[in-house]
């Protein structure tokens, strides 16, 4: 049972940017009930964690934008899935409803697997338990994220969500090459559906100025959060950021790797630019 705050919110001293930064998969408080039920140990469960992404974006409040980060891990409840995305293969008394590739792959709101397809549980958990996790973790996170977006739009006339993630280096093996090189950053706007093009281009430019190789919408175009909060017609925009874990993480030990300090320094140049996107009239240009 969750007994701690389900998210950490760091607010800027002065709200000066329309941006909101979200890190829904960096939670690393593993509840006792998950450890007891899981067939995997704590280290193996961390394979699906976007380890330290909240720390990599911790400078966002210094640029006038809030940062909300999950406390509970993705293996417990996935905040980047809809609350209805329940997997009948891991939650009892759930009926299959249509084809959902994420659920079918074991990556529903209550995940069945971690990386490399390793099952989390020996059997199934009860529907009441699944609903309790959603109520304790998923609902308050999204209630607060919605409030942050609403506030930004009220202050600045628009809101721009950066949904921050990391991706296993292996996921990039089959990704398209970018100018002959492998992508280090993948930005997703659901193929233009979740953010105005000038905002997306400004985000691409910010990362490229810092020397990153940037791919767009491949292999990741955005998940539930990008879809839910990306409403350009209502002046809500959402862009997903995926960072190659090989840039900063020892992916076997799940500890900061030798590149962590360098990546952190490079992101410190990018984050202020992301926070201020649109203030110079990018939206007006569309």
pLDDT tens-digit series, residues 53-99 = 999 999 999 999 999 999 999 999 999 999 999 999 999 998 877 67
Residue 214 lies in a domain: yes
H helices present in 42-138, as ranges: 42-45, 53-56, 101-104, 127-133
pLDDT tens-digit series, residues 146-163 = 999 999 999 999 999 999
80 vs 279: which has the higher pLDDT: 80
Residue (of 171, 196, 183) closest to 284 by Cα position: 196
Cα angle for residues 220, 260, 46 (degrees, 5° grid): 60
Residue 280 lies in a domain: no
Quick one: angle between helices 260-275 and 197-209, nearest 10?
Answer: 150
Alpha-carbon separation of residue 194 from 29, 90, 162, 178, 272 (angstroms): 31, 31, 11, 23, 21
- Structural domain total, the chain: 1
Per-residue pLDDT at 281 = 52
H helices present in the chain, as ranges: 32-37, 42-45, 53-56, 101-104, 127-133, 139-156, 197-209, 224-229, 260-275
Residue 85 lies in a domain: yes
Residue with token string 């998950």:
34
Residue 285 lies in a domain: no
Which residue range forms the structural domain that includes residue 195?
A: 7-275
Residue 243 lies in a domain: yes
Residue 281 lies in a domain: no
264 vs 98: which has the higher pLDDT: 264
Alpha-carbon separation of residue 254 from 29, 112, 208, 246 (angstroms): 14, 21, 27, 11
Q: What is the DSSP letter of 159?
A: E
Q: What is the mean pLDDT of residues 115-140?
A: 94
Q: What is the mean pLDDT of residues 162-166?
A: 98
241 vs 200: CA distance, rounded Å: 11
Q: What is the mean pLDDT of residues 21-35?
A: 95
Alpha-carbon separation of residue 130 from 68, 84, 134, 245, 249 (angstroms): 23, 11, 6, 30, 31
CATH of the domain at 108: 3.40.630.40
pTM here is 0.94
Residue with token string 């996107």:
277
φ, ψ of residue 97 to 5 degrees: the values are -130, 95
H or E stretch including 256?
Answer: strand 255-256
Residue 65 lies in a domain: yes
Residue 157 lies in a domain: yes
pLDDT tens-digit series, residues 203-245 = 999 999 999 999 999 899 999 999 999 999 999 999 999 999 9
Q: What is the mean pLDDT of residues 174-193?
A: 86
φ, ψ of residue 105 to 5 degrees: the values are -80, 0
Neighbours of 91 (CB within 10 A): 20
- The beta strand positions in 168-221, using DSSP E, are 185-188, 214-216
């Amino acid at each position: 049972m969750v007994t701690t705050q389900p998210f950490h919110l760091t607010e800027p001293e002065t709200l000066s940017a329309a941006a909101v930064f979200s890190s829904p998969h960096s939670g690393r408080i593993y509840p006792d009930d998950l450890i007891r039920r899981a067939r995997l140990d704590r280290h193996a469960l961390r394979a699906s964690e976007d380890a330290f992404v909240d720390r990599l974006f911790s400078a966002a409040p210094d640029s006038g934008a809030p940062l909300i980060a999950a406390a509970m891990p993705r293996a417990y409840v996935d905040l980047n899935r809809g609350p209805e995305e329940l997997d009948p293969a891991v939650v009892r008394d759930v009926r299959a409803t249509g084809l959902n590739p994420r659920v079918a792959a074991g990556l529903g709101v209550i995940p069945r697997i971690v990386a490399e397809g390793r099952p989390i549980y020996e059997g199934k958990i009860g529907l009441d338990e699944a609903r309790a996790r959603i109520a304790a973790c998923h609902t308050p996170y999204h209630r607060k994220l919605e409030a942050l977006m609403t506030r930004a739009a009220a202050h600045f006339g628009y809101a721009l969500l950066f949904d921050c993630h990391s991706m296993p280096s292996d996921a990039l093996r089959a990704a398209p090459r970018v100018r002959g090189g492998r992508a280090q950053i993948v930005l997703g706007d659901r193929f233009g559906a979740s953010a105005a093009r000038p905002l997306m281009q400004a985000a691409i430019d910010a990362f490229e100025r810092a020397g990153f190789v940037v791919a767009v919408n491949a292999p990741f175009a955005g998940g539930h959060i990008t879809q839910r909060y990306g409403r350009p017609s209502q002046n809500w925009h959402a862009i997903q950021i995926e960072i190659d874990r090989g840039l900063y993480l020892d992916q076997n030990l799940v500890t900061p790797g030798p590149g962590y300090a360098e990546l952190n320094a490079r992101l410190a140049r990018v984050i202020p630019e992301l926070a201020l996107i649109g203030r110079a009239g990018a939206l007006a240009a569309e």
